[in-house]
Structure 1
Amino acid sequence: MKGKIDLLTHLKELAGVFSKLGIIGFGGPAAHIAMMENEVVSKKKWMSREHFLDLIGATNLIPGPNSTEMAMHCGYHRAGWPGLIVAGLGFIIPATLITVAIAWFYQRYGSIPDIKPILYGIRPAVLAIIINAVYKFGKKALKNWQLGIIGAAVMIGSLSGMSEVLVLLAGGLLGMFWFSVGQKKGSMKQSFLPLLLLTGKPELLKVAIAATALSTGQVVGNVSLVKLFLVFLKIGSVLFGSGYVLIAYLQDELIDQLGWLTQQQLVDAIAVGQ
């Protein structure tokens, strides 16, 4: 009985935290993950900052929206599979509802509301959140000069345009060979779940949702929901890299190959996702 009560308490906590993050989580994945770190590590102390960093590394090695995957990982850490579901739904439902509402408005009136003034005000706040998170992560991650060298090499590789996956793998291999001698194997009790069914990179997950909503509205009479699902499943299963890569995938699939959207509609979907 006590175990059930504890589980329900944890699920209520997860629902509250990640629903709030889903509502206020403007900006890209860096801002989302910084907000999660503040809630999950600094305030709630559900896990150590080191473990949170490990989860960030894992989510960058698999396709799909990193910030949504992080929400699910945190939920799983706190309350197992029920926690994974509650945290994931809490994080994505607010954005999904807003996107569906805007897509309905778009279908009815042929344009989207002008939200640029709002975005201009949000961006400085998002930048401040990211800088604060990077500072806190840096203090935990860069504990000695060897890790500093690896971090600098990874940063140079990332800034030079190397693939995110290759950069992360290279950093991991360097660390493994450098610190393997005399080190005990780390205990990773919380599994890194391969959440492959989710689509797109995190900062443009809502772009995919918007594009789906718009394309469904345009060709609902000609395309089955199964085909729509399979198209985005394929994209989500093979997509690595930045959100701009997602735009290229959507351009190729929805416009060039299938003809579900026009170029202007894809541009409007990107605006909605931002």
Structure 2
Amino acid sequence: MQRHLPETVSIPSAIPAVSFADASWAFARIACLSFGGPAGQIAVMHRILVEEKRWISEDRFLHALNFCMLLPGPEAQQLATYCGWLLHRIAGGLVAGLLFVLPGFLAMMALSVVYAAYGDVGLVSSLFLGLKAAVLAIVIEAVIRIGKRALKNGWMVAIAAAAFVAIFLFGAPFPLIVLAAGLLGFAGGRMGHPAFAGAGRTNTAGQGEHGGADRSLSRVAQPSARSAFLTAFVCLVVWLLPVAALLFAFGPDDVYSQIAVFFSKMAVVTFGGAYAVLAYVAQEAVGTYGWMQPGEMLDGLGLAETTPGPLIMVTQFVGYLAAFREAGSLNPFLAGVLGACLTTWVTFAPCFLWIFAGAPFIESLRGNRALSAALSAITAAVVGVILNLAVWFALHVLFAEVREVAGYGLSLDVPVVSSLDALALVLFLTAMAAIFLLRLGILPTLALCAAGSIGASLIG
């Protein structure tokens, strides 16, 4: 297996390079079909780029995926950016990454406007009750699916359990949990501990199936520290200059400054995908900033599940409501649009930084057991964090009242049993049956629960 980048990978004249227009159209197709979370999005990308177009080999695609999973942020969007970079360098990466986000951004913007305008109307409220119940079942399914993949031995189960206890009972910051798990995994990998050995290795089965595909890729230069520094500097300026300008112009207490700073921080700690960080985002948006109510985060998650693109687009919904409700002298809807655009900018701009600065070096990461072990431990911790998210969501979906019990350094949300919402419980059980027994997809499950909730509202 090749472990170092060659000085140059050239394009043989017998195999023409992929045209920029063809590549752009392919990534537009991927973006419009990117429903179903990262698993579905990555599957669509693989089918189009590896199997159908044969532009990228199986081995290169899987290696790129492993690299993206090491990074903070939405791995599917970063994988699309990386594949576009392979085909047409920075221009290709920009087009692929932006196209991957665009359909979901437009859809979430339209839905956020409708929600802000009509979210308290009876039928609309019933619609979102159904979406909440379905999303709760989807989150539980995510815990089980990721847990089966990540918790391969007792050490991984212990890391997941410790992460859950730390965040659920003690309110430990998510970045601290990620850092602790990563350091433990890295140390275990370096020492060759059997629980961490082989964690996260690339599955290279069938790597030669489309081995000739890589011959049509762009020229890949030898990695350069100077080039990486310049690339990182430009990307940092593009990402953080608007943040600095807002802080300078309006101060740290302005809603736009708060949005820019908060979601910029989120962009660098979102290891493990959107589910892993949503509990933290929800708790901060509700408890610290007062931008929204607990149930509204579930509404936004339900909307994000119905749209193409990364699930992390739910942060756009949070930014919209935050600016909408603190519009000041601006029209609330215009303020919401500005807040949503700002949130999307600071959430996704760092993704291009990680890929453009790091992609030339990824061959040197191939086979690095310590880094793979760190990723494996982080993924195990993420299972515990997602379980916390599921419990937090369940409390606020199924019960109208939740009270906090604190003492001895612990802080625990306890439901008021008498406030159980019978309709929400029935819809949740329906969603569980649809996902686990009938094997329905995300969109049919959301539609089923939304229709059931609206029907119950009409019946009265």
The alignment's TM-score, normalised by the length of structure 1, stands at 0.61
Does 1:266 find its partner at 2:262? no
Question: Could you tell me which residue of structure 1 aligns to residue 448 of structure 2?
Answer: none
d(CA) in 2 for partners of 1:159 and 1:77?
Answer: 34
CA deviation string 1:204-226 (max 9, x = no partner): xxxxxxxxxxxxxxxxxx84434
d(CA) in 2 for partners of 1:33 and 1:168?
Answer: 25
Whichever residue aligns with residue 249 of structure 1, its letter is Y
d(CA) in 2 for partners of 1:153 and 1:57?
Answer: 14
Question: Could you tell me which residue of structure 1 aligns to residue 152 of structure 2?
Answer: 156
SS in 1 for 2:19: helix
Whichever residue aligns with residue 280 of structure 2, its letter is Y
Task: Kindly state the Cα deviation for residue 242 of structure 1 after the two structures are TM-superposed.
Answer: 4.8
SS in 2 for 1:156: coil
Question: Could you tell me which residue of structure 1 aligns to residue 453 of structure 2?
Answer: none
SS in 1 for 2:55: coil
SS in 2 for 1:252: helix
The structure with more radius of gyration: 2
> Do the aligned partners of residues 155 and 10 (structure 1) sit closer, same or farther apart at CA in structure 2, a change above 3 Å counting?
farther
Choose from 60, 63, 72 the match for 1:51: 60
Whichever residue aligns with residue 256 of structure 2, its letter is L
Question: Could you tell me which residue of structure 1 aligns to residue 24 of structure 2?
Answer: 15
Question: Could you tell me which residue of structure 2 aligns to residue 31 of structure 1?
Answer: 40
Whichever residue aligns with residue 299 of structure 2, its letter is D
CA deviation string 1:129-157 (max 9, x = no partner): xxxxxxxxxxxxxxxxxxxxxxx996615
Identify the range of structure 1 (50-59 vs 247-256) with the bigger mean alpha-carbon deviation: 247-256
Question: Could you tell me which residue of structure 1 aligns to residue 285 of structure 2?
Answer: 254
> Do the aligned partners of residues 106 and 153 (structure 1) sit closer, same or farther apart at CA in structure 2, a change above 3 Å counting?
closer
Whichever residue aligns with residue 57 of structure 1, its letter is N
d(CA) in 1 for partners of 2:273 and 2:151?
Answer: 15
d(CA) in 2 for partners of 1:230 and 1:93?
Answer: 23
Does 1:65 find its partner at 2:74? yes
Identify the range of structure 1 (25-34 vs 235-244) with the bigger mean alpha-carbon deviation: 235-244
> Do the aligned partners of residues 113 and 18 (structure 1) sit closer, same or farther apart at CA in structure 2, a change above 3 Å counting?
farther
CA deviation string 1:54-77 (max 9, x = no partner): 111111111100100001000000
Task: Kindly state the Cα deviation for residue 244 of structure 1 after the two structures are TM-superposed.
Answer: 3.1
Choose from 209, 224, 235 the match for 2:266: 235
CA deviation string 1:182-235 (max 9, x = no partner): xxxxxx9697999999xxxxxxxxxxxxxxxxxxxxxxxx84434312211101
d(CA) in 2 for partners of 1:153 and 1:270?
Answer: 24
d(CA) in 1 for partners of 2:158 and 2:35?
Answer: 25
> Do the aligned partners of residues 40 and 153 (structure 1) sit closer, same or farther apart at CA in structure 2, a change above 3 Å counting?
closer
Task: Kindly state the Cα deviation for residue 159 of structure 1 after the two structures are TM-superposed.
Answer: 7.6
Whichever residue aligns with residue 22 of structure 1, its letter is A
On the 8 A contact 1:11/1:82 being kept in 2, the answer is no
d(CA) in 1 for partners of 2:46 and 2:58?
Answer: 8
CA deviation string 1:67-111 (max 9, x = no partner): 000010000000000001100111110011001110011011014
d(CA) in 1 for partners of 2:32 and 2:54?
Answer: 22
Whichever residue aligns with residue 33 of structure 2, its letter is I
> Do the aligned partners of residues 154 and 266 (structure 1) sit closer, same or farther apart at CA in structure 2, a change above 3 Å counting?
closer
Unaligned runs of 5+ in 2: 1-15, 135-147, 161-177, 202-219, 238-252, 306-460
d(CA) in 1 for partners of 2:99 and 2:126?
Answer: 25
Whichever residue aligns with residue 96 of structure 1, its letter is F
> Do the aligned partners of residues 238 and 190 (structure 1) sit closer, same or farther apart at CA in structure 2, a change above 3 Å counting?
farther
Question: Could you tell me which residue of structure 1 aligns to residue 114 of structure 2?
Answer: 105
On the 8 A contact 2:72/2:267 being kept in 1, the answer is yes
Task: Kindly state the Cα deviation for residue 10 of structure 1 after the two structures are TM-superposed.
Answer: 3.0
The alignment's TM-score, normalised by the length of structure 2, stands at 0.38
Aligned ranges for residues 181-192 of structure 1 at < 5 Å? none
Whichever residue aligns with residue 275 of structure 2, its letter is Y
- Percentage of identical aligned residues: 25
On the 8 A contact 1:112/1:268 being kept in 2, the answer is no
Q: How many residues align?
A: 205
d(CA) in 2 for partners of 1:56 and 1:168?
Answer: 19
d(CA) in 2 for partners of 1:168 and 1:51?
Answer: 25
Aligned ranges for residues 53-202 of structure 1 at < 5 Å? 53-110=62-119, 111=124, 114=127, 156-157=152-153, 160=157, 162=159, 166=182, 174=197
d(CA) in 2 for partners of 1:257 and 1:80?
Answer: 41
CA deviation string 1:21-59 (max 9, x = no partner): 221211010110011011111111222111111111111
d(CA) in 2 for partners of 1:161 and 1:87?
Answer: 39
d(CA) in 2 for partners of 1:57 and 1:43?
Answer: 22
> Do the aligned partners of residues 99 and 235 (structure 1) sit closer, same or farther apart at CA in structure 2, a change above 3 Å counting?
same
Task: Kindly state the Cα deviation for residue 270 of structure 1 after the two structures are TM-superposed.
Answer: 0.9
Task: Kindly state the Cα deviation for residue 162 of structure 1 after the two structures are TM-superposed.
Answer: 4.7
Unaligned runs of 5+ in 1: 1-5, 121-151, 179-187, 198-221
Whichever residue aligns with residue 156 of structure 1, its letter is K
